[in-house]
Structure 1
């Protein structure tokens, strides 16, 4: 009983994650948001058409898996205020409503195809995620993990948003066609195995971008953790998860010769420099830490947008062994997140600055 009472105020994190995932779905469903036009289709005809006309195994599976986490996050969010069955019902209906809206809007995009099979797969995926959520939320290990998280991070408004930002940062780094913590797309012509191409010079600007990217994460963790000494374990855990996820994604999606291209020299040097910068920032008072992090975020934005040529999401498509259009959307989404993250971090740091000033005034 006490565990659930302590966990309830922290449920804002679930809401942030569910809202963020909904934005991801909208981006992936409607990207690149151009070419809108009336195509003479009736949505009711799409809904009642035979499933065999619009069905493909890959599309059904990908849509099911895409909505599984969404249903899980929605059910966890609803579970804070409702019982098991209402949480599953509302999570499934919410996901279905978003799916129907996306399929309806896709009728106006010539590059997209509306499908009732997609809606069915989305609903099944969301239902599966919701059922999993309500089955684990009362388990002892889930309660312990929740209590551990609450004890590890500071209390107060805004902390859950900061944790959601850290999750967003991790999502942007998993893309295997980007170097570790980098933002410059790897392209096939520059790295084709056995090809006689001139070796590119070592780019210190890319290393600096990696260092600043890591500094942003480290500064964010320093503002969130109760004890700053825990930032070492936090960084090691986050980087380990990112590296493992990146390797798995590369093994599943990239051509065999491109499996480890994301481990380049610029990224390794940048990680070392970034760790040193975080070690120095850990000695700063919280108020000055916020300004240091803001400066790092601003510098990263300048580097990513005006110094480095990040290329386009389609530049790395030939690295993939898959030929599905979903990958281009994924590349574009991860690249957009990596560019938007510093702006969101700056907003959070502004809130944190005023919060610290208020505490100091007391």
Structure 2
């Protein structure tokens, strides 16, 4: 009696006559749309009615004051949306036929984002923003149609993806590639994502119209000692690194170059973190995240990853979920250290206000998204 092949060792056969939808593109589209919504309405406070209708901005004159930076960031911000819309419509619509509905959907989304900004005191709805966003989504849709053969139609890249990753890895790849982006926003610990205390404090302060600091109400207001901070930093760094690396390993087949891929992935994350520190603080601060406790956590996490690299998938999944949960608990239980608070004061916002909101949202969301992926029954099935 023949033994069925290991789902992680041989790629599934996909009939050429039945092209499959890209779950990677569709999940990426959902996440990117949420980021646009959050960035467009950030900081979600001070809502008021100025007596203007939501779409009055459409008939207003173009703004007198604008910068090249504003224009190109508005265009660039919507290019990925147009690209993902075209890829997500496959195979229901052929790529070039999907350009028009993708562009229309992006324009409608941008129009709604600008309309709601009428009720936010820190935001100003602009028809110029709508025009530049529309241009961005149109360019992205054309780019998606031009690149569809590379990403969707039995290209070498797609064949390599099928050879190295399981058939059900689409959602997991989205979660994995969001991790380096989530690390851009400054954290109390190197990999301390999911820090809920600051955004919840701001939310309740705005809701009750009085300053509320949850760190001093439900947490112990006493500052931990330097040794306790050091231990917490090691735990959070090691657990965050272990959870992310094991999540990536779970997506790979046995014949994939697992060590090299995980190493490249972690190096890309470190490079992204360093580049963000250099861009938003100062070039000399590119490696400011390096500290004895962070190095200790990286070493401990590396030992855990090496020890679990060839463990059964079920064990890897459980350890990854437990590591991320422990990281969440410690991150939110330990008060922010003074160095982290001073770092936030120097975090460059200004023109990056939209990006700042999206980065903070992603840094809070990522561990919950990863734990959902690791524990959801659908994702525990063989690929």
Question: Which of structures 1 and 2 has the larger relative contact order (alpha carbons within 8 angstroms, sep 6+)?
Answer: 2
Structure 2 residue ranges without an equivalent (≥5): 1-12, 196-225
Q: Deviations over 1:293-319 (max 9, x none)?
A: 221121011011112527899853543
The worse-fitting range, judged by mean Cα deviation, of 15-24 and 60-69 is: 60-69
TM-score where L is the length of structure 1: 0.82
- 8 A contact 1:96–1:122 mirrored in 2: yes
1:80-99 paired onto structure 2 within 5 Å:
80-99=91-110
Say whether residues 1:344 and 2:344 are aligned partners: no
Deviation at 1:281, TM superposition (A): 2.0
Match of 1:143 in 2: 155
Q: Distance in 1 between matches of 2:121 and 2:193?
A: 30
Q: Distance in 2 between matches of 1:9 and 1:97?
A: 28
The structure-2 alpha-carbon separation of the partners of 1:294 and 1:182, relative to structure 1 and needing over 3 Å to count, comes to closer
The structure-2 alpha-carbon separation of the partners of 1:297 and 1:245, relative to structure 1 and needing over 3 Å to count, comes to closer
Match of 1:190 in 2: none
Query: How many residues are aligned here?
Result: 338
Match of 2:264 in 1: 237
Q: Deviations over 1:18-38 (max 9, x none)?
A: 110000001111112121121
- 8 A contact 1:183–1:310 mirrored in 2: no
Match of 2:297 in 1: 270
Deviation at 1:10, TM superposition (A): 5.4
The worse-fitting range, judged by mean Cα deviation, of 282-291 and 160-169 is: 282-291
1:212-361 paired onto structure 2 within 5 Å:
212-227=239-254, 230-309=257-336, 316-320=343-347, 322-324=348-350, 326-327=352-353, 329-351=354-376, 355-356=380-381
Q: Distance in 2 between matches of 1:349 and 1:310?
A: 31
Match of 1:161 in 2: 171
The structure-2 alpha-carbon separation of the partners of 1:311 and 1:114, relative to structure 1 and needing over 3 Å to count, comes to farther
Q: Distance in 2 between matches of 1:315 and 1:28?
A: 24
The structure-2 alpha-carbon separation of the partners of 1:235 and 1:97, relative to structure 1 and needing over 3 Å to count, comes to same
Match of 1:67 in 2: 78
- 8 A contact 1:210–1:270 mirrored in 2: yes
Q: Distance in 2 between matches of 1:142 and 1:354?
A: 24
Q: After the TM superposition, list the runs of 4 or more consecutive aligned residues in structure 1 that deviate by more than 6 angstroms.
A: 176-179, 310-314
Match of 2:5 in 1: none
- 8 A contact 1:43–1:104 mirrored in 2: yes
Match of 2:134 in 1: 123
- 8 A contact 2:107–2:130 mirrored in 1: yes
Q: Deviations over 1:265-292 (max 9, x none)?
A: 3322222211111122224322222222
Deviation at 1:138, TM superposition (A): 1.7
Deviation at 1:74, TM superposition (A): 1.2
TM-score where L is the length of structure 2: 0.78
The worse-fitting range, judged by mean Cα deviation, of 301-310 and 272-281 is: 301-310
Alignment RMSD (CA, Å): 3.2
